[in-house]
Each structure stands twice: as C-alpha cells, then as structure tokens.
Structure 1
C-alpha cells in the first residue's frame, strides 16, 4: 500500500520553519510521505504554515492560500489545511472569507492536524525534526512568545507571553540534530535575552549555550534575536573564549533617537544603547553585530531620521536591515497613534539608510582582504561554491564565493579560505 503524500508550504520566519519540521517528523512517523515546498508536487494534501507578522507577510500567506484553493477547485488536490500565525490571529475571518479551506489550525494546535488525518501524536518523537535546511546546519528554537510591549509588534498578540523550553528538551533536540549530521546550530527565539526567567527565575542563556557547546560534533553556534534590555552579558565570555560560540550576535535595536525609542516602548534610551554596543565590542573583540531598524513609525520626524543616520555611521554595524513600519491592528501603535507617514516616504527613509549601510559593509569587507577565514560550504551554484564565515548567518548575510573550477569542495565541510576580493556585501576567496 502506497503512503499518502503531504506537501507542506512553510512561509515566514525560521521559527515557523522549525514548527514545520516538527510537524513533518510527526507525519513521517505516522507513515505519511512528507515533502516541504516541493515544486510540481503530486501530493493531494497540502498544509500551509502561514505568517501573520506584518502586512507583506500576511499578503503572501493569503495569496498562497488562494493559489491552493484554485488548485483544489481544479481537482489537483483533495485536502487543504492552513496553520500558523495568520490563522492563529484571524481564524474566524479566514473561515468566513475563504471557506474552501478544509480546516484552519492555529500556531499551537498543530497536533490536531494529525488527529484530523486519523493518526496519533507521538510524544516519543517530540524532540525530533525532519530538517529541511541543508543537512549540515539547523535552527534551534529555545522559546516561544514575548513579554515585551513594543508599540508596533503583533507577536505577543499572536504567540502570547514568553515561554522558555526546558533545557533538557533543547539539549536532547540538539544532540539528535548533531547525530544526524548538523555541524552548525542557529539558536533562535523571539527574545533570547529573556530565556530562563520564566522557568528558573534568572537568565539561563549562557548556561544553555555552554552546554550546547559540549556536544561532540557541533562546531558552530550562532545567536539570533537578543533584546537590548535585560541583556544576557554571560554570553559574551563564551563568545570570547569558546571557539564553538561564534563571534556573531543578532540584536534588534529598531531605532536610536530617544523620541522614537519612547514612542516604540523599547525600554531603553540612546545612551544605554550605545553603552551596550560598546561593552559588547569591548568584551568580544572582532564580533560581528547584526541589527534591524524600523523606519516610518508614527511620530518619526526628520530629526529622528537624522539621528538614526548619525547613529549608524558612528556604530558601523557589520550587518543591518531596515523595515518600513506596518500598521498592525490591535497593537499599541495602531490603537494610540496615527499612521500618517506615506508608504513612499517610509521606503525613501529605508533606502537612504541602506545606502549608508552599503558603504559601511564595503569598508568591513575591505578589511577582510588577505585574511584567512574558516568557511562552511553551503552549496554549489553556477561557477561558484558558496560558503559562510562565523560572521554570517544563513540567507540574511553575505557569502564567500569560491571559484569551482579551481577546487572540488564538499557541501557541509569547513575549509580555510584566503579572501582575495570583495564587493559591497559578498567576499571572494581561494581555498588554502
């Protein structure tokens, strides 16, 4: 008897992808044939894991749902399920407006999908996943939700309060991943800084990362999405002294001006932000900092933008992304401020800042010319192998390009590479 085939479409962030991978494992052990985003799939059951964070992500989720509704009408698929953040937040509206979907599930009731398919959730496999990334790295989610009250953010509305996973479960999952060939763990959470407070009444991030580093076979650990208040300073010593903990930190700052930090309800001011950045760089020489900035938030003036530009030029973040403000219903900003900055103006402010960051990135790369760096090879594409240093995370950061005609490299292996050239973002090198 052939297995029933299910194709899962995973939208949104890496945290969503982890949820998809957990569900895929459960379906697999229940004897389903499971694929993720398989093109031209002949699967008759489709599950869409949606994102509902900002306007563009919601639009993509709805467009994807409608695409598969049309496929169902045409008889190409038999069942269509929708799960994730969008249906967690808007389930009733979606059921009314797109009733062709067989059933909607929230972000946290995905186990009901297994029941809907007449199978049982398998608790023995709770810390196992079917990894969809290249097998040499994986994301590791250590918590859900967020306790912060940032004005613009819908995450607490969707996911609720911060809930740390137990250290035992995280370590078991990490060991399973490494046993299956993972060499790099990208540790993720909505708020890494808060890890442990709800379970242990204190920050446990440093202890967790140290225990992860003790896993044989794991070579790199990268940290994503720290929050500047209640910053877990204990991780800095690990980054400085533990070769497995990469000198890389993703810390979302959002803005620099005191006016905007107050309106955004960030719980920190400009001087404290600068002091934090300087302490991090002092404690971890050579660290790469990635951050994100939000422009066009209600109340943002030209003076605020000038302040932000000056701040970025002064701090010289190695990696920086910019997002235009999206007015999300039921957030503090949507309920209390007027979204009176045009989309065109938001985009202009974004582009102005990215031009500044482009020059900074070019200078950062220029300093790497001639250096010998450890590089993890992710893929071969066209004439090049593409890899990353400890200072780069998957998909969001620059890459190292190595001409394939000069060498035969293995995907998922580490090599010492001498940097021979550079562009605004990417580096070029040769294997030593």
Structure 2
C-alpha cells in the first residue's frame, strides 16, 4: 500500500453497462461533490487515488467486462497507484458473496440501492435535498432521466429484477423539478429511461401515468426534445401517442423492445404478447403517429429456437420495417426461469443467426435512409470529429442510432440545432449540408 501523498481524496468513477447505470454514477458524483470531494468520470490521467467501478451484470459479455475492469483497478492498487477500490452496480448486487471471496483486494462491495452506505466510506453524508442534482457525464446538451427503478415483469431470460428489484416509480413532481434543473444547466434533450417506461405510475397513482408525465415535462420551458426509451408492448397506453403527436418537443420516436416474433419463442420468453398483437399495436402506432421512428431489440439463440423461428423473425422484420433494430445473442443467466432450459444452441450459431437477421434489417435501414435524401431535417449538433460535425435528427438517439455527417463552411456550435439537407444515405448514417 502506498503512503498517502494526496492532501485530498480524488475519486474516479468508471461506469459500465446501460444508461441507467450512467445516471446512478452521475447521482453519486453529485453527492460526492456536495460533500466537497473531488470526483471525475472515466479519468484517464491516473491522478486520482480512489476508484468506484459501477458494474453491469446483464449478460455474459457485460459480466466479463465488469470483472476485467475490477481486476485492472485491483492491479493498479497492488502497484501503489490507488489507495481504494470500491465496486457497486448490478454485478456487485447479484454476485457480491462470490466476488468478495474471489477478489478480496476490493475494499468494499455495494448493491444497486446502497448509495448512502457507500457515501459513509467517504465520510460523506447523503444529502436528500440534492433531489435530481447530478454531475453530468454526457455532453451538456443532452441527459438521461430515469423515471423509475426495477421491473415487475417475469421475462424468462432477464435477470434485471434480481439486480434492481420490483418497479418503483419516481413522483411526477420530482421528475419535473429534475428536468427543470437540467434545462437550467443547458440540457436541450432528455431521454426518458426505465426498465419499462409504460408501467410508470401504476404503483404511485394506480394507473399508467406516462402520458401525464409527458404532458408535464413538455411544459418545461427550454426543453427542446423528449425521447422515449424501453416501452413494453403488452398493455401499451395508447394515450401516450396522442400526447406525442400534440406536443412538438416530444420526439416522434419510440424504443419498444420486442425480443422475438415467433409465438413459440414469445411464449417461452414469457413476453405476454403474440405476434398478431404486436403487429396490430405497430399498425395502431403508425396510424396515430404517421412518420414515427420505431426502434426495437431482439434476442437470437434462445433455448429451443428453431430455424423456422428465425425465418419467422426475418419475415416479421420485412413486414413491419422497423427503422432501427438491435440484436442480442441469448445469455444463459442463473436464477432466471429460462436457466432450467438447455442452452442448446452453440455460440457460433447464435452469432450466425444474429448476423442473418441484421442483414435483413440492414437492407431495410438503407432503403429508409435513401427516402430521406433531398429532404431537410432539424439536426442537433453532438460533436466535431476529423473536421466534420456529427449530429442527430429527432428520429435518432445517442450512440445506438444513425448519425448525420454535416458539412459546413461556417463554424457550428455543439449543442445547437441547425437545418440540414440530406445529400447521401448509407446503411446506418446520413450525410448532408447546412441550409
């Protein structure tokens, strides 16, 4: 252990996994700063003496990345580069007992809901008055807004309820105050996230209240874009579409993970929807909100998936023509109900099926992007790279969707909106010039 040379602790937070984890790290950062503790996010300079690794435990690849990151930080500690290594997040919540014995060099392990306990390690107080106050690790012009925690669904493949517990909605008033605070700090786009957006409010208000929340958020002055992620198709509250259509600052965009389209697989996954029901919902959504961008995620290689199931999924994509699709390869997770099934599809075959499905979507994506050539869109400038600007339309979310490559002879401001005429289209990106 190196002798203490720093007069004051400096904490580096490393975040792995999803945007919900990122928000947790931002909240931790805000609490530490309020206690006058220096904190950084993803600091590469190694001028800190304490590390907090916020882990992901969702699927095998995520767990492997989390463990490797912990081991890297433990190695830095052994070499005298760090004083303390703390671990929190989903992997820690799920496997704490095993990890404590396997990696004893970690100074403390914390679950997903143990922020006050973690702060005690820093001799810091949990400040409840800091409602919604976070140290943003995203660019200043966009932020995630987590509207609930946990999930009440029992999807057979999913370990999220094991790590995050049951669904707990945040009060409407708190979310509006946080949105107002974010806007005052320069945020123009807020992405609503949860394990399931469409369940919001059932626990607090005894009814699905996402539409009410959207109305209140859309009234926040200065909030330009509100984007919806992770809507569940079963019992989808259709009034959400009415609010989306009526309010100009709600993006005509919906992320609705469906996971599969074969009824056999949907039943085995305990998804509570059939292919016909999903197709009818998609048709209703497009009828109510013409031009809406629909994104989904799918799973390939679930136990018992046949080649006929894969063909049915490809047919579903051809018929429904989603704008955006992401694919996960099935991961066999302990303590889920699917764990009792035989994980009988080799990893190479899971990958082959995923690639085959994405090739179908790639063609659809190119066709849909080609339809945008010659049209002008309002674009939010995200960054400048290699002498060109990169931005997004209202139909594209951060990191997972298309980017617009922008050519401009004039200097553009990051975080500002410009009108861009699309001149070229690619499979997953667009190119255009400012008009």
TM bin, normalised by shorter chain, reads over 0.9
Among residues 368, 371, 391, which one is paired with 2:372 in the alignment? 368
The answer to whether the Cα contact below 8 Å between 2:407 and 2:434 also exists between their aligned partners in 1 is no
Determine the C-alpha separation between the residues in 1 that align with 2:166 and 2:48. 36
Is 2:214 the counterpart of 1:170? Answer: no
Shift of residue 240, structure 1, vs aligned partner = 1.5
The answer to whether the Cα contact below 8 Å between 1:22 and 1:130 also exists between their aligned partners in 2 is yes
Match of 2:3 in 1: none
Helix, strand or coil for the counterpart of 2:14? strand
Shift of residue 3, structure 1, vs aligned partner = 4.0
Match of 1:184 in 2: 189
Is 2:213 the counterpart of 1:208? Answer: yes
Coordinate RMSD, CA, aligned: 0.9
TM-score w.r.t. length of structure 1 = 0.98
The answer to whether the Cα contact below 8 Å between 2:148 and 2:194 also exists between their aligned partners in 1 is yes
The answer to whether the Cα contact below 8 Å between 1:418 and 1:430 also exists between their aligned partners in 2 is yes
Match of 2:54 in 1: 49
Determine the C-alpha separation between the residues in 1 that align with 2:223 and 2:396. 17
Determine the C-alpha separation between the residues in 1 that align with 2:176 and 2:154. 30
Match of 1:123 in 2: 128
TM-score w.r.t. length of structure 2 = 0.98
The answer to whether the Cα contact below 8 Å between 1:400 and 1:426 also exists between their aligned partners in 2 is yes
Among residues 418, 421, 425, which one is paired with 1:422 in the alignment? 425
Shift of residue 119, structure 1, vs aligned partner = 1.5
CA shift digits 1:299-320 (9 cap, x unpaired): 1111100100000011110000
Determine the C-alpha separation between the residues in 1 that align with 2:7 and 2:402. 43
CA shift digits 1:344-367 (9 cap, x unpaired): 000000000111111001001000
Shift of residue 422, structure 1, vs aligned partner = 1.1
Match of 1:89 in 2: 94
Match of 1:241 in 2: 246
Helix, strand or coil for the counterpart of 1:48? strand
Determine the C-alpha separation between the residues in 2 that align with 1:147 and 1:54. 19
Shift of residue 126, structure 1, vs aligned partner = 2.5
Helix, strand or coil for the counterpart of 2:129? helix
CA shift digits 1:103-125 (9 cap, x unpaired): 00111002211111112111111
Is 2:392 the counterpart of 1:413? Answer: no
**Mapping 1:95-110, distance limit 5 Å:** 95-110=100-115
The answer to whether the Cα contact below 8 Å between 1:240 and 1:285 also exists between their aligned partners in 2 is no
Determine the C-alpha separation between the residues in 2 that align with 1:150 and 1:246. 28
Helix, strand or coil for the counterpart of 1:108? coil
Determine the C-alpha separation between the residues in 2 that align with 1:329 and 1:257. 24
Match of 1:392 in 2: 396
Determine the C-alpha separation between the residues in 2 that align with 1:426 and 1:182. 24
Match of 2:310 in 1: 305
CA shift digits 1:121-143 (9 cap, x unpaired): 11111321011100000000000
Determine the C-alpha separation between the residues in 2 that align with 1:19 and 1:397. 23
Match of 2:147 in 1: 142
Helix, strand or coil for the counterpart of 2:406? strand
Match of 2:39 in 1: 34
Among residues 9, 25, 28, which one is paired with 1:20 in the alignment? 25
The answer to whether the Cα contact below 8 Å between 1:295 and 1:325 also exists between their aligned partners in 2 is yes
Is 2:375 the counterpart of 1:401? Answer: no
Shift of residue 235, structure 1, vs aligned partner = 1.1
Determine the C-alpha separation between the residues in 1 that align with 2:220 and 2:198. 22
Query: May I ask how many residue pairs the two structures share in their alignment?
Result: 430
Helix, strand or coil for the counterpart of 1:115? helix
Determine the C-alpha separation between the residues in 2 that align with 1:254 and 1:119. 42
Shift of residue 371, structure 1, vs aligned partner = 0.6
- Unpaired segments of 5 or more residues in structure 2? 1-5
Determine the C-alpha separation between the residues in 2 that align with 1:28 and 1:161. 30
Among residues 337, 344, 351, which one is paired with 1:347 in the alignment? 351
Match of 1:327 in 2: 332
Helix, strand or coil for the counterpart of 1:148? coil
Determine the C-alpha separation between the residues in 2 that align with 1:49 and 1:242. 36
Among residues 286, 293, 296, which one is paired with 1:281 in the alignment? 286
Determine the C-alpha separation between the residues in 2 that align with 1:19 and 1:171. 18
- Unpaired segments of 5 or more residues in structure 1? none
